[in-house]
Structure 1
């Protein structure tokens, strides 16, 4: 219950309709308990007196009571349908908004399938809980209480016989609740794992087919599916056990009450109408008692779904601004500056070396700086610090002398545009994908496409209105990379961060893009991760990143002549041999 109470903020706006629906359901259930009293009156009155008119009147009463009960339950369902769909929609929207605000480190740790299962299956479970178990745990509890009181008033001795199974049923419920909770959590986590496998298989279908790995993937899927099946069967066994106990014990009690009541009627100490009313009430309580098992099961699954939902919602989002860890107030120089920047991933062991260590680097206003280094040296990590996809561990980064942690993320990311090495496109049109980077219309779109040499977009079936498939896999790697570059430059950013933006282009297209990109770089401050000399030549200066530190800064030709590591990275040959070739 403590877990489920966390849902109250979402339920509060629709509490009036939910409480009204619960009251109506209780009223309908209590009307159902009036039927045995009408039967008692009929048996001891009109039937005993052989009064046909009285029997017809009693039948009319029973019909009206049945109709009233049915109409009230139908009205209850109508009351809750719209608000519960609203609660589910609000929770799903809240989860989606929160996911957008969570840091990259969170998304690096979590499998996408686990997040998808929380946004779909878990929220569907919660809607079902609000619609049925939440109400009927209350309704059935009140019904059982009122029904027991009615039976005790009819005949207290028979009422005590009916109550004999209460203690073992309660003990069974307590034991069942604990065991089913663990099984429900395991099953829902396994659904998330299975969703991850399906998603990865769909996105990686070209790799799977290209390497003929469909059988191994199918085996992995069957293995996970088999585990989930085993867990679901374990849940079914638990549910069958509690249902067997809950159904069987009350049946024995009703049978015993029937025998004892029949004896009393034969002895003349109990009227036939009272026995009929007593047994009718007991039978009316069979559904509320029998339903305890699966209502508890659904409630446990809802509690588990709530836990899983709030595991994500409780994750700390990116803050708007933070206090900088570096020294303040020293310089107010323009451009992009890294001051004593150190970075270690949040989940890395404390004694592990930092990925970036005491980086000092200044890119002057309007200057382009190429960042060069071996694979794994930390280039991509360094570029991710500028738009605050990761937070620096120590030191600070400034834009035009202003600490980026003093800016809101919206302001920072409106000034800094990024093109990543792996271009990601969305299931939208070509134009919509490009204009995600800013821009206001067709003129900006055309300019960006021209810079990125992405004129191929006009030759697509619907031009720039052509829908791009999931992940943009309907396009070639070079086409996706050019659209990602167009997205980065479309908003005319003050600062541009390019992570090896031309790696998938052929030589001729690369030359054309570089020529157009030079005009863009003349009006912006840029940091460019580069692996090829042609890309390096776009920049005014070059910084060499080695072992998480900046080991050299200069022009391309200076470093080529004076730094063996840089010469080797650019050509694979020692610097002296390269000079001879030149």
Structure 2
């Protein structure tokens, strides 16, 4: 409203000029001219103050809108399933949370406001022109006919280019992020030149798209500028002739041309305002592509509710962890592709540790991901002490099940914050010390600030074995009733592994645990061993029993032993 008022104040200036020309100038009255000039000065100051006030007024709420959108996006990313993050490049998500939301804020601050302001200004200005002289006023409306289809054509072309450019920005961001996180691999293999070539190629594609956008914008801006200018020149010639003939006063012509020139900026700005609108539309489309993704839901499906009711009497009874005919295929797998897991049946008794063994790629890690519902199983069911996990709120499920992955992930925070992430809000220094002791993470005391040391992004300042021990400490710090470990000792040397196993064995005595194992030493932590083969559990027994009775298991363990001997 304030911007509209300021713009309309600017349209009063030509009317004051008309009064000055037809009054004091025609009457040779210097005093009246100075008075008119003072009026023009006051109008200019008023217009400037109104525009400045508008800018100050909208800055704070728009920054708040951007912050809210960013917070909503981050919250949605936390709630989206693992399968979503497996499909999307992190750089694409990062560009949506930064560049795209910045474009939306700029759209709300400038184009959206000025499309309204300039539209009202043009409308009021046209009315003033027609009132002053309807013939010349209608002449200035002639360019509208060709401008409408031309702007429509430009809008369609620019929209495609804007979306392509923003997608390419996401690709460039992804490449930069991957190169920074994988800098040791890049340097270790001397691949900095090849990475630079890939970056240059993607940057070149982005540059070409941006130049195409600039070409389109220059084309439409040239057209929007040229056609009204031709109309103004024509009006100037015809108006001058009419003044000479006495059909039009000089003041009216001055006011008419001043009003027309005052409308130049609102008309010429249409080109880049439309461009910014298309960029904002592409940014909004990319933003809502993420927001429209279906998040993880805690409401159980009807079938799960029915099963939960059937087993309601069994809830709370110590039954351990059970897999009942569990099947799984990835959501993006081909329809005719065989399932990764098919009819998995396994019972981990209360307080028991079961080692899960199988060939590489047989689905061991995927099976462990099903327990905390990082992936949703395709068929069958999984129960914790008789309760179907699909009938449990995720927050409760994940408070019962702690996990440690083969590839440990640490955050840009202190060691204490990283470890205590696996505990409840009441956890303290004693719990932290116990967890670090179990994981044999005594190296923490030698760091510059001990547990308060910042580990940096991805924990790259630590070795692989150190990161794995901190991830293990995070899994056990909360003394969870159920523990799922995916080859948690793979990055440890033999001596450290033995010390961790001794401490971990005490923790496992009071926990129901499923441990993915590749080494015989890790297998011996378990009470029983389950062999996963061809998507099914094909054998269950003790380590020594399976060595004697199952050829596939004996072959897997003999290979692991040879590999372990080779490392030592």
Q: 1:172 Cα deviation (Å)?
A: 1.2
Q: In structure 2, the residue corresponding to 1:571 is in which secondary structure?
A: helix
Are the equivalent residues in 1 in contact too, given 2:519–2:560 (CA < 8 A)? no
Report the TM-score when normalising by structure 1. 0.94
The structural deviation recorded for 1:324 is 7.0
- The question of whether the paired residues in 2 share the 8 Å contact of 1:431 and 1:445 is answered with yes
* Corresponding residue for residue 260 of structure 2: 282
1:314-354 per-residue CA deviation (whole Å, 9 max, x = no partner) reads: 00000013227575536936100000111111111221111
> Does the alignment pair 1:454 with 2:441?
yes
Q: Which runs of 5+ in 1 are unaligned?
A: 1-22, 575-582
- Confirm or deny: 8 A CA contact 1:325 1:395 kept in the other structure: no
Aligned 8 A contact 1:335 1:364 in 2: yes
Residues 265-307 of structure 1: per-residue CA shift (max 9 Å, x gap) = 0001100000000000000000000000000000000000000
> In structure 2, what is the Cα distance between the partners aligned to 1:473 and 1:57?
73
**Residue 177, structure 1, aligned to residue 155, structure 2:** yes
* Distance in structure 2 (CA, Å) of the matches to 1:454 and 1:320: 36
Change (3 A) 1:135 1:573: closer
Residue 228 of structure 1 pairs with residue 215 of structure 2:
no
Distance 1:102 1:354 in 2: 23
Structure 2 equivalent of residue 479 of structure 1:
466
> In the aligned structure 1, how far is the partner of 2:177 from the partner of 2:65?
27
Which secondary structure does the structure 1 equivalent of 2:168 belong to? Answer: helix
The reply on whether 1:239 has 2:217 as its aligned counterpart is: yes
CA displacement at 1:573 relative to structure 2: 9.4
Equivalent residues of 2:518, 2:560 under 8 A apart? no
Residue in 1 aligned with 2:290?
Answer: 312
The 8 Å contact of residues 483 and 511 in structure 2, kept in 1 or not, is answered as yes
1:401 maps to which of 386, 395, 398: 386
Structure-to-structure mapping, 1:329-478, within 5 angstroms = 329=310, 332=314, 334-439=319-424, 440-478=427-465
Tell me if 1:66 matches 2:44.
Answer: yes
Matches within 5 A, 1:133-172: 133-172=111-150
Question: Of 505, 510, 516, which residue of structure 2 is paired with 1:518?
Answer: 505
Instruction: Return the alpha-carbon distance in structure 2 between the equivalents of residues 504 and 37 of structure 1.
Output: 82
Deviations 1:493-513 (A, max 9, x none): 010000000000011100000
Equivalent position SS for 1:349: coil
Return 5+ residue gaps in structure 2 as ranges: 562-568
Looking at structure 2, the residues matched to 324 and 158 of structure 1 have their Cα atoms a distance apart, in angstroms, of 72
1:533-572 equivalence runs, <5 A: 533-572=520-559
Cα separation, 1, equivalents of 2:144 and 2:302: 63
Question: Residues of 2 paired with 1:159 and 1:60: CA distance?
Answer: 29
**Residues 370 and 541 in structure 1, CA contact (< 8 A), matched pair in contact too:** yes
Structure 1 contact 426–471 (Cα < 8 Å) conserved: yes
Q: Are residues 1:506 and 2:493 paired?
A: yes
Check the 8 A contact 2:520/2:560 in 1, yes or no: no
Give the direction of change, closer, same or farther, for the CA distance of 1:573–1:98 in structure 2 (3 Å limit): closer
Q: Once the two structures are superposed, what CA deviation does each residue of 1:189-208 show, in whole Å capped at 9, x if it has no partner?
A: 00000101000000111111
Indicate how the Cα distance of structure 1 residues 305 and 432 shifts in structure 2: closer, same or farther if over 3 A, else same.
same
SS in 1 for 2:14: helix
SS of equivalent residue, structure 1 residue 538: coil
SS at match of 2:510: coil
CA distance in 1, matches of 2:182, 2:131: 69
Q: Is the 8 A contact 1:325 1:394 kept in 2?
A: no
Residues in 2 aligned to 1:363 and 1:324: alpha-carbon distance in whole angstroms = 27
Matches of 1:324 and 1:169, distance apart in 2: 57
- Show CA shifts across 1:511-545 (max 9, x none): 00000001100011000000011000000000000
1:17-96 equivalences under 5 Å are 23-96=1-74
Q: Contact 2:405 / 2:485 at 8 angstroms: preserved in 1?
A: yes
Alpha-carbon shift at residue 455 of structure 1 (Å): 1.0
Contact 1:498 1:529 in 2 (8 A): yes
CA 1:230–1:213: 2 relative to 1, 3 Å: same
CA–CA distance in 2 between the matches of 1:399 and 1:228?
51
Contact preservation (8 Å) 1:499, 1:528: yes
SS at match of 2:515: strand
Matched residues, number: 553
